[in-house]
Amino acid sequence: MRIAILDDDPLVQEIERAAVEGMGHSCYVYSDGASLLKELRRQTFDLLIVDWYLPDMDGPKVVESVRQGIGSNMPILFVTRRDTEEDIVEGLSSGADDFMTKPVRVGELVARMSALLRRAYPATHSDELHFGIYRFNTEKRTLEVRGQPIDLKTREFDLALFMFQNVGRLLSRDHVREMVWGQLFQVPSRSLDTHVSRLRAKLDLTPENGYVVNAVYGVGYRLEACGDAQE
């Protein structure tokens, strides 16, 4: 998973980064709201941790802006020194999904992140996944379409699984590269486009089969359900 942290305190940044990376996730740190919002025009994340007090705007304003843009469905966790009932109500009303107070308690932070990720992305925690005519077995790493096995290379299977696990979500190119190839791999845009095109053909992703892949200019891809497709 890709997790973004918005906090201008270097010590808090390091504590939260260590917690995120200790869970095996990728971490991206921002010190002001404007930088994060600018990045969200071309990047996608799986979860956002946000502080209340920021150099340029309050956390609730950032959350409201995120909800109005590309991060409309991304789970958001407030981690802040604000701790009154009014603060919690305002934070959650702005669009956050959860709220915890500083000082940061790593065990609690990990537990809250895990709970948010489980609720937001339940398909990532199942061994067998059914999406209309498409059947994944994540343990055996197999995919069947209408009961017929599809021969996929390693990256093709990983790409197909990742996209189906995120049906309806806009995924940035960097997000796809990182989750399928890993952070250390530099995958050219043309190669990514080729993989997506090949997958579209191999899986016959068409409206008639319930799912289509759409490219979103300047950002990435979205696998969308259409017709009577059922997850």
Q: What is the pLDDT of residue 191?
A: 86
Q: Are residues 151 and 116 in the same domain?
A: no
Distance from C-alpha of 7 to C-alpha of 14, rounded to nearest angstrom: 10
Q: What is the pLDDT of residue 201?
A: 95
Q: Are residues 38 and 134 in the same domain?
A: no
Structural domain total, the chain: 2
- CATH number of the domain that residue 218 is part of: 1.10.10.10
Distance from C-alpha of 5 to C-alpha of 170, rounded to nearest angstrom: 20
Residue at a domain's end among 70, 85, 120: 120
Q: What is the pLDDT of residue 231?
A: 47
Q: Are residues 108 and 154 in the same domain?
A: no
Q: What is the pLDDT of residue 124?
A: 74
Q: Which domain holds residue 137?
A: 128-225
Q: Are residues 116 and 20 in the same domain?
A: yes
Q: Are residues 38 and 14 in the same domain?
A: yes
> Is 35 a domain residue?
yes
Q: Are residues 107 and 155 in the same domain?
A: no
- CATH number of the domain that residue 29 is part of: 3.40.50.2300
Q: Are residues 105 and 44 in the same domain?
A: yes
Q: Are residues 132 and 116 in the same domain?
A: no
Distant-in-sequence, close-in-space partners of 219: CB < 8 Å, separation ≥ 6 = 41, 42, 44, 70, 170, 172, 173
Q: Are residues 21 and 108 in the same domain?
A: yes
Is residue 95 within 8 A of residue 67, CB to CB? The reply is yes
Q: What is the pLDDT of residue 190?
A: 83
> Is 162 a domain residue?
yes
Q: Are residues 104 and 7 in the same domain?
A: yes
Q: What is the pLDDT of residue 188?
A: 75
Distant-in-sequence, close-in-space partners of 8: CB < 8 Å, separation ≥ 6 = 31, 32, 51, 53, 54, 55
Q: Are residues 155 and 218 in the same domain?
A: yes
Rounded to 5 degrees, what angle do the CA atoms 148, 173, 127 make? 40
Residue at a domain's end among 67, 96, 120: 120
Q: Are residues 133 and 110 in the same domain?
A: no
The model's pTM: 0.87
Tokens of 89: 């109500």
Over its length of 231 residues, how does the chain's per-residue pLDDT go in tens digits? Answer: 999 999 999 999 999 999 999 999 999 999 999 999 999 999 999 999 999 999 999 999 999 999 998 767 899 999 999 999 999 999 999 999 999 999 999 999 999 999 999 999 987 777 899 999 999 999 999 999 999 999 999 999 999 999 999 999 999 999 999 999 987 667 777 889 999 999 999 999 999 999 999 999 889 999 999 976 554
> Is 44 a domain residue?
yes
Residue at a domain's end among 120, 136, 153: 120
